[in-house]
Amino acid sequence: MIHSTKKTSIVAIGIIAAILIIFFISLNTGTIPIGPADVLKTLFGTGDGSYDVILFDFRLPRMIIALLIGIGMGIAGAILQGVSQNGLADPGILGINAGAGFAVVLYIFFLQDQLAGSGNLQVFIMPIFAFAGAFLAAGLVYTLAWKKGVTPVRLILVGIGINAAFGGLIIVFQLMMEPKDFTQATVWLNGSIWQTSWNYVLALLPWILLLVPFAMYKAKALNVLTLGDQLATGVGAPVQKERTLLLLTAVGLAGACVSVGGAITFLGLVAPHLARRIVGPNHKHQLPICALIGALIMLVADTLSRTLLAPSEIPIGLVVSAIGAPYFIYLLIKE
Amino acid sequence: MQARRLIGTIILIAGTLLLIFSIGLSIIFGVSDISLGTVWNSIFHYDTTNTSHQIIQRLRLPRAVAAVLIGAMLAASGAIMQGMTRNPLASPQIMGVTSGATFMIAIALVFLPDLSNVNLLLFAFAGAGLGLGLVFGVGLLARTGLTPVKLALAGTAITALLGSFSNALAIHFDVARDLSFWYAGGVANVQWDTVKLLFPAAVIGMILALFISGSVTTLSLGEDVATGLGLKTGAVKVAGVLVVLILTGAAVSVGGTIGFVGLVIPHITRFIVGPDYRWIIPCSAILGGILLNFADILSRMVNPPFETPVGALTALIGVPFFIYLARREGKNI
């Protein structure tokens, strides 16, 4: 135990160092490169002010959003894989992405043009729609899977069904859209954090601050649930209650992340796998490492999404898949 | 066991009748409705000057045949996948087939926009092979061998990777809408020359599928049990992947992504006929054909004269039933 705690700390310090380095590099890069000296000066308020807007209004908020989404999605994914006892599960399995995606597609199709020009409020309407969609879908999955309690298999199966239904509805509405709306919806569905502002950071932060510590606190319960229902009940755990609480936590985290960042599915699948391979299956160690790995992947992905095809940007969800998948495959082969 | 065999036989016979009936319906319903007598005449006394006959022969009949074939192919290969990987999440999509096809279509749309329809089909089929080859290759390279979970994980990763490439291409070169139309799929524009390509793939694939169905049943008991029973698991898996490639590759190339059939129909069939894949595979094929053909008929009637994407309809039709079954007997899967 002592050994693995030490290992976890070393790994954590390593990842945090990597995050700090990439954070600094990322501040320098983009359509308009800024030299390291200017970045430091601007950050400490001693610059000439010419980079204030780029750094403070554009780069910093979206990088912080990227970090927060990474943490939230990583934890949500770890919880879901633990609760469902299936390594293929990610927040998408609870219908979170599909529900949010459908709500956003409906919003773009029916409401967006009517609401155009309503100013500041408009920035928040789409995330609110997405969040509501995510919660509704997850609630629907959970309710339909409920029958004197919820079993992991039933949850996964109902999740597949609800996902397929929402996926179908998304395609139906998307193909009826004007080309401009279609592109907007496609970009959202592939995950993007382009329009990020400090407002989004403030909207997302409470969820992370509240639910991440709670998930860590529940790590032991998650360990017990991973044993399977019979064993978990045998050791005296209130299985259904803990499962509901943990699922709610995951839905809150993933829903909040998806509503500001769009569908960034692969992260929730890949981060827990990586964490498990590094520090083992104990969630006390796995959860914090998972959060850090998620944050690191998102930060790297954000940097790449800005620079690879500059000045045009690639949706960050695509970059996450493009860098996460090969590493995941490498691990599969090597193990 | 006896009862299950009876149910299986009933499904095969009644299903085939329903299938023929659905083809008849598919020919009758459309933007211009046609009477049954005309259908009969068009097939047995074809009159080249009669517009209705031409609509039937050139448009409706190939469309109905394609819908049945694609539905049957997707469902049968879905059944094989689920039997081999023992994972309820496994579907042809997870083996990289669909994402590979989509990836090649994206490349074709961006770099070879003038490609003919038949060539586009070949591109899609090559892509299906590419996706499946990558997934299988990763599985083979893995040191601990081709465990079902490993194969499914490799599939998920390759799907994410190829999917991100095709979406990035599509968004950057502004062909996302075209790609979505292909992706949403459908059999509305299928002609005889396409059916001629589809048919041999369906026949060969189905025969091979039935041939390995007994081994798939053994494999579905678990790797260790199967090896203990003297099954050459490696050979069965290679054969299974080949069958999936032929069936899904051809089906996806023609019809785009109609994912729910390959996922849901095998589940439903297993609920009904039990765990023996010698029954699951043929019954899945019949039920898959029925589902897709009815969905295709519905796609013309929802919002005429526009066609609603058939892949979306299969999902909306299949989901309630799927959830009902999952709730009733969820633990038997």
Q: Quick one: pLDDT band at residue B147, thresholds 50, 70, 90?
A: low
pLDDT band at B89 (very low <50, low <70, confident <90, very high): low
In total, chain A counts a number of residues equal to: 335
B89 vs A161: CB contact, 8 Å cut-off? no
Mean pLDDT over B38-51 rounds to 76
Q: Residue B1: which pLDDT band, with cuts at 50, 70 and 90?
A: low
Question: Residue A211's closest CA among A240, A251, A175?
Answer: A251
What local confidence, expressed as pLDDT, does residue B145 receive? 65
Residues B116-123 have a mean pLDDT of 84
Q: What average pLDDT does the segment B297-325 reach?
A: 80
CB-CB neighbors (< 8 A) of A229 in chain B: none
Tell whether the model's pLDDT for residue B329 goes beyond 80.
no
Q: Which residue of B has its CA nearest to A150?
A: B327
- CA separation, residue A87 to residues A23, A115, A156 (Å): 30, 42, 11
Task: Give the span between the Cα atoms of B47 and B51, in whole angstroms.
Answer: 9
What pLDDT was estimated at residue A210?
A: 92
The domain segmentation of chain B, as residue ranges, is 2-332
Q: Which fold has domain B2-332?
A: ABC transporter involved in vitamin B12 uptake, BtuC (1.10.3470)
pLDDT at A122: 65
DSSP letter assigned to residue B59: I
Residues sharing a CB contact under 8 Å with residue A24, sequence separation 6 or more, in sequence order: A36, A39
CA atoms within 13 A on the CB side of A58: 15
**Chain-chain contact of A321 with B163 (C-beta, under 8 angstroms):** yes
- Residue B174: list chain A partners with CB under 8 A: 183
pLDDT at A1: 47
Query: Residues of chain A whose pLDDT is less than 70?
Result: 1-3, 31, 49, 88, 116-123, 194-195, 310-311, 335
**Chain A residues closer than 8 Å to B313 by CB:** 168
**Beta-bridge partner residues of B306:** B303
The CATH architecture assigned to A2-334 reads Orthogonal Bundle (1.10)
| Mean pLDDT of all residues in B37-55 | 76
Chain A: residue whose CA lies nearest to B302? A172
Q: ipTM, 2 decimals? A: 0.75
Q: How far apart (Å, rounded) are the C-alpha atoms in residues B5 and B280?
A: 11
CB contact under 8 A, B330 and A153: yes
Mean pLDDT over B144-171 rounds to 80
If pLDDT is split at 50, 70 and 90, which confidence band does B288 have?
very high
Distance from CA of B68 to the nearest CA of A (A): 20
CA distance, residue A293 to nearest chain B CA (Å): 17
Examine the pLDDT at B117 and tell me if it is beyond 80: no
Using an 8 Å CB-CB cutoff, list chain A residues near B141: 333
Closest residue in A to B152 (Cα) is: A88
High-pLDDT (> 90) share of chain B, %: 20
From chain B, pick out residues whose CB is under 8 angstroms from the CB of A144: 323, 327
Closest residue of chain A to B141, computed from CA coordinates: A333
CB pair distance less than 8 Å for B167 and A153 = no
The minimal CB distance from A190 to the residues B138, B153, B167 is found for B167
Tokens of A79: 């919880």
Is the pLDDT confidence value at B94 over 70? no
**pLDDT for residue A136:** 92
Residue B158 CA to residue A325 CA, distance in Å, equals 7
Contact A175 B264 (CB under 8 A): no
Nearest CA in chain B to A305: B168
Cross-chain Cβ contact A158/B323 below 8 Å: yes
**Nearest-Cα residue of chain B relative to residue A168:** B312
Amino acid residing at B330: G
Residues of B whose CB is below 8 A from A147: 327
Residue A239 DSSP class = H
User: pLDDT digits over A300-322, tens only?
Assistant: 998 888 887 766 778 888 888 88
Please tell me the predicted confidence (pLDDT) of residue A66: 92
> Whole-angstrom Cα distance, residue B121 to residue B127?
10
Predicted confidence at residue A146, as pLDDT, reads 83
Q: Is the Cβ pair B164, A162 closer than 8 Å?
A: no
Mean pLDDT of chain B: 83
Q: Give the closest of B153, B314, B323 to A144, CB-based.
A: B323
For tokens 């899967």, the residue is B333
- Between these two residues, B97 and B151, which has the higher pLDDT value? B97
pLDDT given for residue A329 in this prediction: 84
B142, B168, B309 ranked by CB distance to A314: nearest: B168
Q: How confident is the model at residue B332 (pLDDT cuts 50, 70, 90)?
A: very low
Pick the residue from chain B with its C-alpha nearest to A177: B177
Round to whole Å and give the CA distance between A62 and B324. 43
Cβ–Cβ pairs < 8 A, chains A and B: 154
- What are the tens digits of pLDDT across the range B203-221? 999 999 999 998 888 888 8
pLDDT in tens, B254-276: 888 787 788 888 988 988 888 88
Q: Does B330 score more than 50 pLDDT? A: no
Which of B110-119, B164-173, B293-302, B318-327 has the lowest average pLDDT? B318-327
**Are B323 and A326 within 8 A, CB to CB?**
no
